[in-house]
Amino acid sequence: MFVLPDTMESNLMMKDNGVIGDMSSQKLKDARIFETEAEKKIKKDERPAFHLSPRAGWMNDPNGFSYYKGKYHLFYQYNPYDTKWGPMYWGHAVSTDLLHWEYLPAALAPDAPYDCRGCFSGSTVELADGRQLLMYTGVVWEDKESEEAREIQTQCLAIGDGVEYEKYADNPVLDAASLPAGGSRYDFRDPKMWRKKDGTYACVAANRGENGRGRILLFSSPDGLNWRYEKVLFANDGRFGTMWECPDFFELDGKGVFLISPMEMLPREMEYHNGNGTICVTGNYDEDANMFTEETDQAIDYGIEFYAPQTILAPDGRRIMIGWMQNWDTLIYSREQKWFGQMSIPRELSLRDGRLYQRPVRELEAFQSDPVEYHDVPVSGLVQLDGISGRMIDMELVIRPADQETLYQKFAVRFAQDEMYHTAFSFRPSESVLRVDRKFSGSRKAIIHQRRCRVNSKDGRLKLRLILDRFSVEAFINDGEQVMTATFYTPQEADGISFFADGKVLLDVVKYDIMI
Ligand code: FRU
């Protein structure tokens, strides 16, 4: 049972933006009762099959992605009561294969004096004694009577057994006093912890500096409970948006890698077209000197919806990333929808020549069924192939010019298609540009429906692996050298797939249904 520390009981009547506050743990109990009932009203086939969606209501960032007591744990930013963002709880789910998720009761509610405006994003580590430690951003309203009063962000802890978590009596453990000169206490969030080889703990968190830009602070702790500021590990020099969110930092194939979600990015040629986007910065990390030297940067996902990713080191050594399959600027609500927000498919990461490669977790292969294969199909104009359809599929396409002398103008694959709807990827080899377009997917809003990505293509050759799961597509380009992700809420009956070429293309297709 979740028992409140004494200090919290005595603080139950807190001021929450002028309203006398809620009963602490009652808030969590209520949410747990509510989500259990709300879940029953959502049929299984109204959700994605193997991408995690919220148990009820709204989901944003993945939090506390971890492997604990023999299971993968994924927490998430959660408003159980509405399909819109609201006071943040932590939802919770577990999995043994990263594809079947089982909901656990909500883990955190905004029920303490130091987090009554929300339990924002954070992470987990296992403590030396085997308990699981959560660090999250507690949000409160600034204690001043002024028009300019704003929300303040601090870092807080909770400790638990994988289901029940008790907030730490000495919260918050990092606050304005922990910040370097000029650090904003209004923008200080999203701690990502890890355990170091020597058994001590480290953590990176995002903070806005005096210049208004984001930077990543490094903190250290001998025991996971007592934290101290170390240094600014990496700062935004103006190339990557304004404030930064949701940093992750890890070693991959001998390099230091930052994953960061910058807000308000300016596009740079064919990179960073997403406004609120994602970047991967690689470089050299000297752990003894705590020095990061930047080498390369790129978008993590070149599609429309992907944000705030987090990674884990799986027990078998794989670095696996999961992201919120959404962008703050493209919230498409359909009237019928009983939930909002989905996670991406977990993706295995590697580095090759300074570029981040991603592939869907290999666990997916166990659920590939009913293969349909075609080789050397000539495509000129519109082509449909027997057995190639579906909304829960894993399909690889290899395309190349049929005629060595004349390059084709354009190749396109349309899916989630019927007479009324479709979403498409199209490729123009002369520009080496791949475009996703969901204008005709059924959205009634004039939000962004297209995104372009410059891909590596020699002589009109391209390899595309498309993962469809009812409401989304993730395209892994050239064995994961780039990824483009988009969501769509097209009626499920629209399950057609067709191919089109302006010019002459030869096509190989291997398609599996995902039976899960
Ligand atoms: C990113 C973010 C985080 C914050 C959370 C609040 O999407 O804005 O910075 O912790 O969402 O839900």
The answer for 473, left when phi > 0, alpha when psi is -120 to 50, beta otherwise, is beta
CB distance 327 to ligand 1 below 6 Å = no
Ligand 1 centroid from CA 53, angstroms = 17
Ligand 1 pocket test: pick from 63, 135, 187, 189 the residue with the most ligand atoms within 8 Å of its Cβ: 189
Q: Token pair for residue 327? A: 């962008």
Ligand 1 centroid from CA 129, angstroms = 30
Q: What are 144-158's pLDDT values in tens digits?
A: 878 888 999 999 999
**Which atom number of ligand 1 is nearest to the Cα of residue 120?**
10
Contact 379, 507 (CB under 8 A): yes
pLDDT category at 332 given cuts 50, 70, 90 is confident
**Does residue 24 carry a pLDDT above 90?**
no
Instruction: Count Cβ atoms below 10 Å from residue 128 Cβ, excluding itself.
Output: 10
How far apart, in whole angstroms, are the C-alpha atoms of residue 216 and residue 180? 11
Q: What are 229-261's pLDDT values in tens digits?
A: 999 999 999 999 999 999 999 999 999 999 999
Average pLDDT over residues 363-383: 98
- The reported pTM is 0.94
Average pLDDT of the residues of the chain: 94
**Which atom number of ligand 1 is nearest to the Cα of residue 88?**
12
The pLDDT value given to residue 21: 38
Residues 6 or more apart in contact with residue 194 via CB below 8 angstroms: 125, 201, 202, 203, 249, 250
The pLDDT value given to residue 11: 34
How far apart, in whole angstroms, are the C-alpha atoms of residue 425 and residue 232? 41
CB distance 77 to ligand 1 below 6 Å = yes
Ligand 1 pocket test: pick from 77, 137, 264 the residue with the most ligand atoms within 8 Å of its Cβ: 77
**Does residue 349 carry a pLDDT above 70?**
yes
CB distance 79 to ligand 1 below 6 Å = no
**Which atom number of ligand 1 is nearest to the Cα of residue 77?**
12
Ligand 1 centroid from CA 235, angstroms = 19
Contact 304, 10 (CB under 8 A): no
How far apart, in whole angstroms, are the C-alpha atoms of residue 511 and residue 384? 13
Ligand 1 centroid from CA 86, angstroms = 11
Instruction: Count Cβ atoms below 10 Å from residue 70 Cβ, excluding itself.
Output: 9
The pLDDT value given to residue 277: 93
Average pLDDT over residues 454-481: 97
How far apart, in whole angstroms, are the C-alpha atoms of residue 477 and residue 253? 21
Task: Let me know the angle formed at the C-alpha of 487 by 485 and 493, rounded to the nearest 5 degrees.
Answer: 125
Contact 408, 506 (CB under 8 A): no
The pLDDT value given to residue 484: 98
Average pLDDT over residues 87-105: 98
CB distance 190 to ligand 1 below 6 Å = yes
Whether 459 is catalytic is no
The pLDDT value given to residue 146: 82
DSSP secondary structure code for residue 367 in this structure: G
| Candidates 61, 187, 190, 297; catalytic one | 61
pLDDT category at 14 given cuts 50, 70, 90 is very low
**Does residue 383 carry a pLDDT above 60?**
yes
Ligand 1 centroid from CA 278, angstroms = 13
Using DSSP bridges, classify how beta strands 347-352 and 319-324 pair: parallel, antiparallel or unpaired: antiparallel
Ligand 1 centroid from CA 272, angstroms = 19
Q: Token pair for residue 376? A: 């050397």
The pLDDT value given to residue 18: 34
Q: What three-state secondary structure class fits 172?
A: coil
Q: Is the dihedral of CA 309, 175, 281, 245 positive or negative?
A: positive
Q: What kind and span of H or E run contains 488?
A: none
Average pLDDT over residues 393-416: 96
Average pLDDT over residues 128-151: 92
Q: Which ranges of 20-62 would DSSP assign to H, the alpha helix?
A: 24-40
**Does residue 219 carry a pLDDT above 60?**
yes
SS3 string, 197-263, reads: CCCCEEEEEEEECCCCCEEEEEEEECCCCCCEEEEEEEECCCCCCCCEEEEEEEEECCEEEEEEEEC
Q: Nearest C-alpha to atom 9 of ligand 1 is from which residue?
A: 245
How far apart, in whole angstroms, are the C-alpha atoms of residue 54 and residue 22? 24
| Torsion angle of the four alpha carbons 190, 174, 93, 24, in this order, in degrees rounded to the nearest 10 | -120
Ligand 1 centroid from CA 59, angstroms = 11
Q: Tell how far CA 423 is from the center of its chain.
A: 22
CB distance 326 to ligand 1 below 6 Å = no
φ/ψ of 161, rounded to 5, equals -110, 10
Instruction: Count Cβ atoms below 10 Å from residue 470 Cβ, excluding itself.
Output: 21
CB distance 246 to ligand 1 below 6 Å = yes
The pLDDT value given to residue 25: 86
Contact 51, 485 (CB under 8 A): no
Ligand 1 centroid from CA 306, angstroms = 13
Average pLDDT over residues 185-205: 97
The pLDDT value given to residue 284: 97
CB distance 310 to ligand 1 below 6 Å = no
Contact 398, 376 (CB under 8 A): no
Q: What is the residue type of 37?
A: E
Q: What are 425-442's pLDDT values in tens digits?
A: 999 999 999 999 999 999
CB distance 245 to ligand 1 below 6 Å = yes
How far apart, in whole angstroms, are the C-alpha atoms of residue 94 and residue 102? 5
**Does residue 16 carry a pLDDT above 50?**
no
CB distance 187 to ligand 1 below 6 Å = no
**Which atom number of ligand 1 is nearest to the Cα of residue 245?**
9
Write the CA distances from 245 to 202, 216, 264, 309, 391, integer angstroms. 18, 9, 11, 10, 32
**Which atom number of ligand 1 is nearest to the Cα of residue 307?**
7
Write the CA distances from 235 to 152, 214, 332, 357, 433, integer angstroms. 21, 6, 33, 24, 31
Longest Cα–Cα distance of the chain, Å, equals 80
Residues 6 or more apart in contact with residue 335 via CB below 8 angstroms: none
**Does residue 172 carry a pLDDT above 60?**
yes
Average pLDDT over residues 389-404: 97
CB distance 58 to ligand 1 below 6 Å = no
Q: 331: burial class by Cβ within 10 Å (0-12, 13-18, 19+)?
A: middle
How far apart, in whole angstroms, are the C-alpha atoms of residue 442 and residue 423? 9
**Which atom number of ligand 1 is nearest to the Cα of residue 85?**
12
**Does residue 358 carry a pLDDT above 70?**
yes
The pLDDT value given to residue 336: 75
Q: What are 491-511's pLDDT values in tens digits?
A: 999 999 999 999 999 999 999
Q: Token pair for residue 308? A: 């705030």
**Which atom number of ligand 1 is nearest to the Cα of residue 324?**
7
Ligand 1 pocket test: pick from 90, 115, 120 the residue with the most ligand atoms within 8 Å of its Cβ: 120
Percent of the chain past pLDDT 70, that is, above it, reads 95
**Which atom number of ligand 1 is nearest to the Cα of residue 190?**
10
Ligand 1 pocket test: pick from 61, 63, 76, 329 the residue with the most ligand atoms within 8 Å of its Cβ: 61
Q: Token pair for residue 468? A: 């469809």
**Does residue 58 carry a pLDDT above 70?**
yes
**Does residue 7 carry a pLDDT above 90?**
no
The pLDDT value given to residue 370: 98
Ligand 1 centroid from CA 408, angstroms = 44
How far apart, in whole angstroms, are the C-alpha atoms of residue 329 and residue 165? 33
Going by C-alpha positions, the residue among 216, 222, 227, 249 that lies closest to residue 155 is 227
